[in-house]
Amino acid sequence: MSTQTLLKQLYDTPEQDIIKNIHALKAELGEKVLILGHHYQREEVFAFADVSGDSLKLSQQAADADAANIIFCGVHFMAETADILTSDEQAVFLPDLAAGCSMADMANDAQVSKCWQELSTVIQPDTCVTPVTYINSTAALKSFCGEHGGIVCTSSNAKKVLEWSWNNREKILFFPDQHLGENTALAMGIPEENMIVWDPFQPLGGNTPAAIERATLILWKGFCSVHQLFKAEHADTMRKNHIGIEILAHPECSREVCETADFVGSTEAIIQYVKAADVGSKFAIATELNLVNRLRIQHPDKPVWFLSPMVCMCSTMFRTDPQHLYATLLAIRDGNNEHQIIVPKAQKRWAKLSLERMLNLA
C-alpha cells in the first residue's frame, strides 16, 4: 500500500485511535527506533519524542544515537543533518517529506557558488573568507562550507562560531539568515559599517567592490518567514497593556525587534529563561506559536503571551501530524524506506566536516 493511500485511510480514522496505535507500535519497536522532536512540533507529536530540543541539541543527539532507525519530527534540513552525523548502518526518516523550510530555500548551492565566484573578482575568498551556514540550510550548503574551510552554526552557538571564524580568516560570509548573523554580530560589538548584505539576485550582491573589501561580515539576504512577522510595535503594545512584562525574542527576528527585547536567545535559551524566572513573571515571546503555547501550559504561574497579534506558526513544522508519524512507524516495521532521508555521499563527507567543526566547539 502506498503512503498516500495509507494516509487517506488514517485521516478517516479517529485521532484517538491513531494515538493509541502509535503507543503500541512504538513499544513494539522498542530500542530499534529513536524519535527526535523539535520544540516547534505540535503537542500531539511532541509528546512522542524520546528526545526534544532545538537544532543544536538534536544534532548532538543524532551524532550520539545508537538506534538503528531515527525518526526526525522536524523539517527536511534537520533530517539531512541527522543522516550526515549518523553511521551508514542507521536510517533517518522524515514523517512528511514535504516538510521543508522557507529560510533554507532562500540560499541554494548554485547561488552560494556564484556568490563565491563573484567575490573572487574582488578578493580571494578561499584565503580571507570563512563561509558560515546556519543549520537551517541544505546538506549541499553544509558541504560547501566543509570544503571551503567553513562551519555550521545554530542560534545557540552563533557567537562562538563567529569568533572561531574570525580567528581563522578576516571575513565571514553568513547565510542564509541575515538577522541571526546581524543580531549576533551587533551583540558582539561589531560595528554596523563592517557589515554588508548580499542580495543573490544583484551583481556583486548589490555591493561595490570597495564595500566588499571593507566588510568583515557579509550577510545573505534571507529570513525566517515566521520570525519576520514580529514587529517592534508589538512589543510597545504589550508593554502598554501589561506593566512589567518582559519581551523575549529569538535572534531570527529583525534587528528592531531584538533591540527592543529584554532578552534575545535561542529556543532553548528562551525555555530556560522562563523556567528560571520568579513566579508571577510576565512574558511576551517572539518565536514560533507551538513553543509559546507549550510554555504557557508548563508555567501557569508565569503568564505568557504570544508577541504578535497574528498567528505565526511554522506551517512546515505543522505538517508532521500523528497520522504521518504512525505511517512512518509502520514503514519502519515493514521494512519500507519510503520516508527515509539519504544525503548523497559526495555531499556527506564535507557536510559532516562542517558540522563536526561546530560540535567540537562545544
pLDDT by residue (tens digit) across 31-50? 999 999 988 888 999 999 99
3-state class of 305 per DSSP? strand
Average pLDDT, stretch 10-22? 92
Smallest Cα–Cα separation from 195: which of 316, 203, 204, 207? 207
Q: Coil, strand or helix: which one is 160?
A: helix
What b/e string do you get for 258-267 counting C-beta neighbours within 10 Å, with b at 16 or more? bebbebbbbb
User: pLDDT tier at 120 (50, 70, 90 boundaries)?
Assistant: very high
CA distance 351 to 142: 5
E strands present in the chain: 33-38, 51-53, 69-73, 91-93, 129-134, 151-153, 171-175, 195-198, 217-220, 246-249, 263-264, 283-286, 304-306
CA quadruple 257, 262, 266, 272: dihedral, nearest 10: -150
Domains of the chain and CATH, by start: 3-99+316-348 (3.40.50.10800), 104-224 (3.40.50.10800), 227-306 (3.40.50.10800)
Residue 275: count other Cβ atoms within 10 Å of its Cβ: 11
pLDDT the model gives residue 203: 97
Q: Is 41 left (phi over 0), alpha (psi -120 to 50) or beta?
A: beta
How confident is the model over 307-348, as pLDDT tens digits? 988 766 677 777 899 999 999 999 999 998 889 999 999 999
Q: According to the model, what pLDDT value does residue 295 have?
A: 96
Decide if 83 contacts 65 (C-beta within 8 A). no
Packed helices 178-187 and 158-168: angle between N→C axes, nearest 10 degrees: 80
* Non-local CB neighbours of 8 within 8 Å, separated by 6+ positions: none
* Contact predicate 216/242, CB 8 Å: no
Question: Cell 560570509, residue?
Answer: 173
Q: What is the pLDDT of residue 168?
A: 96
User: What region, left, alpha or beta, does residue 204 occupy, with left being phi > 0 and alpha being psi -120 to 50 degrees?
Assistant: left
The pLDDT of residue 256 is 97
pLDDT at 264 over 80: yes
Q: In the structure grid, which three cell numbers stand for residue 78, read together?
A: 534537520
Residues 6+ apart with CB under 8 A from 191: none
The CA distance from 205 to 157, in Å, is: 27
Local confidence band at 99 (pLDDT 50, 70, 90 cut-offs): confident
Residue 184 predicted with pLDDT over 90:
yes
pLDDT given for residue 153 in this prediction: 96
pLDDT for the residue 226: 84
What does pLDDT average to over the chain? 93
Q: Does residue 145 contact residue 152 with C-beta atoms inside 8 Å?
A: yes
Residues 132-158 have a mean pLDDT of 96
In this prediction, residue 143 carries a pLDDT of: 97
End-to-end CA distance of the chain: 45
Q: Are 134 and 153 in contact (CB under 8 A)?
A: yes
Of 134, 77, 71, 84, the closest CA to residue 100 belongs to: 77
Note the pLDDT of residue 194: 97
Single pTM value for the model: 0.92
Using CB atoms within 10 A of its CB, is residue 291 exposed (0-12), middle (13-18) or buried (19+)?
A: buried
Q: What is the DSSP letter of 181?
A: H
pLDDT at position 1: 62
Q: d(Cα 105, Cα 111) in Å, to the nearest integer?
A: 11
Question: Among residues 57, 75, 56, 81, which one has the least CA distance to residue 348?
Answer: 81
